[in-house]
Structure 1
Amino acid sequence: MTSSSKTLSDLFDSFQREAFRLETLDDYSKSGNVDAYQAYLAGESQPENYNAGWVDELRSHTESGKRVYRVHILSRPLTDYLRFELGWGYRKNMTGGEEFFILDVTDKPNPLAGVPDFWCFDSGSVAVMNYDGTGKYLGSDVLDPGRAAEFTGYRDAALTAAQPFSDWWAEYGA
Structure 2
Amino acid sequence: MESLDANGWARLFGACRESACHLEMRDTYAVQEEAADFEEWRAGRWGPAEAAESWASWLDLMRKTSTRGVRLRRARIVSEPVTDYIRFEHEGTPLNIAAGEDVRWLPRTRASGLALPGNDFWIFDGATVLFNHFTGDGGWIGNELTTDPEVAKLCADAFESVWALAVPHSEYTLV
Tell me the TM-score normalized by structure 1: 0.85
Superimposed CA distance per residue, residues 120-174 of structure 1 (whole angstroms, 9 cap, x where no aligned partner): 0000111111100111111111123322111111111111121211111xx336x
Structure 1 consecutive aligned stretches of length 4 or more whose deviation exceeds 6 Å:
none
Contact 2:13/2:65, CA 8 A, preserved across alignment: no
- TM (norm. structure 2) is 0.85
The farther-off stretch of 38-47 and 143-152 is 143-152
Q: Which runs of 5+ in 1 are unaligned?
A: none
Contact 2:117–2:158 (CA under 8 A) maintained in structure 1: no
Partner of 2:41: 40
* Pairwise CA distance, 1:31: 4.3
Correspondence list, 1:68-83, <5 A:
68-83=72-87
**Cα root mean square deviation, aligned:** 2.1
d(CA) in 1 for partners of 2:77, 2:28: 12
What is the alpha-carbon distance in structure 1 between the residues aligned to residue 55 and residue 113 of structure 2? 30
Structure 2 stretches lacking a partner, 5+ long: 3-7
Q: Which amino acid aligns with 1:61?
A: T
**Alignment-mate amino acid for residue 133 of structure 2:** N
Looking at structure 2, the residues matched to 110 and 43 of structure 1 have their Cα atoms a distance apart, in angstroms, of: 38
**SS of match in other structure, 2:53:** coil
Corresponding position of 1:154: 158
Counterparts of 1:158 and 1:107, CA distance in 2: 9
Sequence identity of aligned pairs in percent? 27
After superposition, residues 65-104 of structure 1 pair within 5 angstroms as 65-88=69-92, 90-104=93-107
Query: Structure 1 stretch 137-146 or stretch 109-118: which is displaced more?
Result: 109-118
Equivalent pairs counted in the alignment come to 166
1:60 is aligned to 2:61: no
